[in-house]
């Protein structure tokens, strides 16, 4: 039986789409619910197209405890085991964090612990990376705790910052890698949850290019390497 997951998204949901696209009958996890705080979120249409149940849980102007209660009751009703944040811009209520220990992942578009925290989202992140003069950026997938972007890291994938990059060009390069990394990391967590153990951090290996050696099958390694070369060649 596959592990059940809910995706939380506030925006367009291209990461949500990449998670949906990765699913096959053999997948260790199954996305059964999309939760959003915004009725106009593009992710809602993607869920409807994929036949995934949706719930809008408004956050603005409400106490966090109340949002937590509503969220937990929906997650319980639909029997969700894992939560994947994909461009969800709200703090996860402490009651939800406590109910899902090491079962909530977030994707952040920079190499945490740098360039994270409240207010560090979207173009703000990429502007800060460029202003710092960093030569690498790339997505981080981390467990969610009660703060923004401070939970322990599950996977990262370095992506070069190139001469002449703008926040948009850097965002696009990082996003193309997000779409590969997040489904792989989610499957890694699904397998751990199915086996009743905690998911180990996926460690970088090799000399910069093949950084995801723990996904040891050759086809996956080639897919990652090919995507890295296609998006990041100088």
Residues that bind ligand GRF (CB under 6 A): 9, 11-16, 86-87, 107-109, 139, 175, 178
Residue pair 61/33 in contact by the 8 Å Cβ criterion: no
In contact, 70 and 117? CB cutoff 8 Å = no
Residue nearer to ligand GRF on the CB measure, 34 or 192: 34
| Least distance between ligand GRF and beta carbon 10 (Å) | 8
User: Least Å distance between CB 175 and ligand GRF?
Assistant: 6
For the chain, where are the alpha helices, taking DSSP H only? 14-22, 42-50, 64-77, 94-99, 123-132, 167-194, 218-232
Nearer to ligand GRF, 58 or 122 (CB): 122
User: Quick one: 93 or 109, whose CB is closer to ligand GRF?
Assistant: 109
Q: What is the largest CA-CA distance in the chain?
A: 50
**Separation between Cα atoms, residue 222 and residue 13, nearest integer Å:** 26
Residue 126 contacts residue 153 (beta carbons within 8 Å):
no
With respect to ligand GRF, which residue has the nearer C-beta, 103 or 108? 108
What is the nearest approach in angstroms of ligand GRF to the Cβ of residue 153? Answer: 14
d(Cα 6, Cα 4) in Å, to the nearest integer? Answer: 7
Residues in the chain: 234
List residues bridging with 55 in a β-sheet. 35
The residues annotated with a catalytic role in the active site are: 108
Q: At its nearest, how many Å lie between ligand GRF and the CB of residue 56? A: 16
| Residue 168 neighbours by CB distance under 10 Å | 10
């Amino acid at each position: 039986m596959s592990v059940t997951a809910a995706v939380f998204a506030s925006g367009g949901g291209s990461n949500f789409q990449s998670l949906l696209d990765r699913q096959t009958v053999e997948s260790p996890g199954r996305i059964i619910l999309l939760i959003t705080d915004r009725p106009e979120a593009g992710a809602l249409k993607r869920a409807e197209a994929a036949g995934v149940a949706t719930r809008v849980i408004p956050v603005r102007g409400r106490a966090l405890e109340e949002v937590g209660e509503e969220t937990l009751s929906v997650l319980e009703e639909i029997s969700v085991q894992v939560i994947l944040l994909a461009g969800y811009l709200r703090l996860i209520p402490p009651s939800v964090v406590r109910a899902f220990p090491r079962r909530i992942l977030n994707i952040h578009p920079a190499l945490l612990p740098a360039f994270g925290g409240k207010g560090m989202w979207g173009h703000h992140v990429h502007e800060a990376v460029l202003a710092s003069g960093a030569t690498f950026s790339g997505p981080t997938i981390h467990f969610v705790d009660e703060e923004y972007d401070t939970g322990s890291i599950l996977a990262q994938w370095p992506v070069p910052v190139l001469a002449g990059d703008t926040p948009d060009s850097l965002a696009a390069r990082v996003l193309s890698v997000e779409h590969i990394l997040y489904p792989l990391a989610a499957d890694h967590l699904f397998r751990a949850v199915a086996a009743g153990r905690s998911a180990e951090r996926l460690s970088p290996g090799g000399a910069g290019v093949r950084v995801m050696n723990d996904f040891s099958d050759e086809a996956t390694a080639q897919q990652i390497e090919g995507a890295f070369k296609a998006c990041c060649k100088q």
